[in-house]
Amino acid sequence: MAEAAGGKAQAPEFDDEFRRRFRDLLAWRRDVRHFRPDPLPSGLLERLLTDAELAPSVGLSQPWRFVIVEDAERRAAIIDNFTTANAAALADQTLAGQGENYAKLKLAGLLDAPVHLAVFAVPDPDQGKGLGRRTMPETVDYSVAIAIHTLWLVARAHDIGLGWVSILEPETIPAALNVPAEWHFIAYLCLGYPVSEEPSPELERAGWERRRAAAEHWLRR
């Protein structure tokens, strides 16, 4: 970061060109389920995770914990978990008349993604000294979700795709990954180079759902 006279860091200027490029980043971030098997270059995952730490957090508590899942047996346990949870989801969707469409969706890239990352929240962290969460303890989980989104954008800026897998039974995950039982499981992420770059959500392209116009979500009182 540039330093101005007197040692104070000088704030960068974000111009129209940057804003245009930043919007491109937002628009071309995708949830990725199709990965090339190529590994990430050495040090890149650590760089992405370091940048994700710049996310805001309640009380500056940094309550996120990223578990890089490398062990084949632990990965297999998560894949089993997904297979079971997805079968149950398919049964529910079938009852709701959507089974045939649901069965066609690819909802995780667990078998081909070179990086598996489990993300947890420390529910009552010392860091932050409780600030901001006395009445809303769930802000710890919100902080972790924001860090994941930060990681998602930073990864995309490095041409790395990220897929969020939530079709999982969370209770058994801390034990499967040998982390403290009280940690709250937030997400299981797959990362790697995407097979293709896409301008629209895969669920939209598959005809499952469509993105609504922004103004449909605004209220004024």
Using CB under 6 A, which of 67, 144, 165, 176 touches ligand FMN? 165
DSSP sequence for 122-135: -SS-STTTTTT-SS
- Residue 187: CB minimum distance to ligand FMN, A: 7
Task: Confirm or reject binding of residue 162 to ligand FMN (CB under 6 A).
Answer: no
Which residue in the shown chain puts its C-beta closest to ligand FMN? 201
Q: Shortest distance, CB of residue 160 to ligand FMN, whole angstroms?
A: 14
Among 164, 173, 189, 194, binds ligand FMN (CB under 6 A): 164
Query: Of residues 22, 127, 166, 175, which one binds ligand FMN by CB under 6 A?
Result: 166
Nearest partner of 181 among 189, 190, 172, judged by Cα = 172
- List the one residue out of 125, 159, 155 whose CA is nearest residue 143: 125
19 to 48: interface string for ligand FMN, x by CB under 6 A: -----------xx-x---------------
